[in-house]
Amino acid sequence: MAETERDEDQKAGRLVAVTLDESSIRRSNSDVEHERAVAIYDLLEENSFQPIGHDDGPYTLNLSISDNRLVFDIRRTDGASVIAHFLSLAPFRRIVKDYFVVCDSYYAAIRTATPDRIEALDMGRRALHDEGSRILIERLGRKIELDFDTARRLFTLVAVLHWKG
């Protein structure tokens, strides 16, 4: 396969744009805004995202919350709708709540705590993030093929949508 054909195949199963519905986002602090910006940047740099039964990517994604459901509105780059998936928020509530508690402690610790305390909080934060990513992969399993790194970045965005400020 020629180099350009491989490049096109790789682009087909990926996201090239991600937006969060502004009406779904509540006020947040600078740490949350930074996490959001980094997650989107990293996600667009490297991801594996393929709606099952569709091979007409690359794709754009708009994440929002509607009627207590997480909405994955997936489109082609020309704006044509591919599919929208609605996921219950219930499986994410506890993990997101715990994740933000640990994140708040972590960001506070960075300013005053010992390196051991910071490392322990960071390990807890990463473990919760990984758990949330696995839940996301499980919930999307029959709908979207994605790798773990893509799920981690998407989980960050799901958490941002949950943020109560």
**pTM of the entire structure?**
0.85
Residue 26's pLDDT is what?
A: 62
pLDDT score of 8 more than 60: no
Q: Where are the domains of the chain?
A: 3-162
The H or E element spanning position 79 is none
Query: How many residues does this entry show for the chain?
Result: 165
pLDDT tens readout for residues 111-143: 999 999 999 999 999 999 999 999 999 999 999
pLDDT score of 41 more than 80: yes
- CA 130 – CA 125 distance, rounded (Å): 9
Residue 100's pLDDT is what?
A: 87
